[in-house]
């Protein structure tokens, strides 16, 4: 039986994205684990992202789908990654 694991992260400059990739890579080593990486919606306005250089940095993980709240219930396990201040 497959175990569905969702790794969900927020990353402005890509640091937490790289951590989430590492977590997902490790989780994929678990037998019968089906691991999917998701990001959360960006709430920072585009002009701020542009001004801070974050918009260009975010292009590195633009391919990662944005999770919808209803999808959270589909997972057997959730791993969240967030930055600190």
The CATH number covering residue 28 comes to: 3.40.50.360
H runs (alpha helix) in the chain: 15-27, 46-52, 54-58
The Cα–Cα gap between 85 and 68 comes to: 25
Burial class (CB in 10 A: 0-12, 13-18, 19+), 43: exposed
pLDDT of residue 1: 87
pLDDT per residue of the chain (85 residues) written in tens, 0 to 9: 899 999 999 999 999 999 999 999 999 999 999 999 999 999 999 999 999 999 999 999 999 999 999 999 999 999 999 998 6
Number of compact structural domains in the chain: 1
The Cα–Cα gap between 26 and 24 comes to: 5
Domain range holding 62?
3-81
């Amino acid at each position: 039986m497959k175990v569905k694991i969702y790794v969900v992260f927020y990353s402005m400059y890509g640091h937490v994205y790289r951590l989430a990739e590492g977590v997902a890579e490790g989780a994929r080593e678990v037998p019968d684990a089906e691991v999917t990486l998701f990001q959360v919606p960006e709430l920072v306005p585009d002009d701020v992202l542009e001004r801070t250089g974050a918009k260009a940095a975010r292009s590195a993980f633009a391919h990662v789908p944005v999770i919808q709240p209803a999808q959270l219930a589909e997972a057997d396990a959730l791993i969240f990654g967030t930055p600190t201040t």
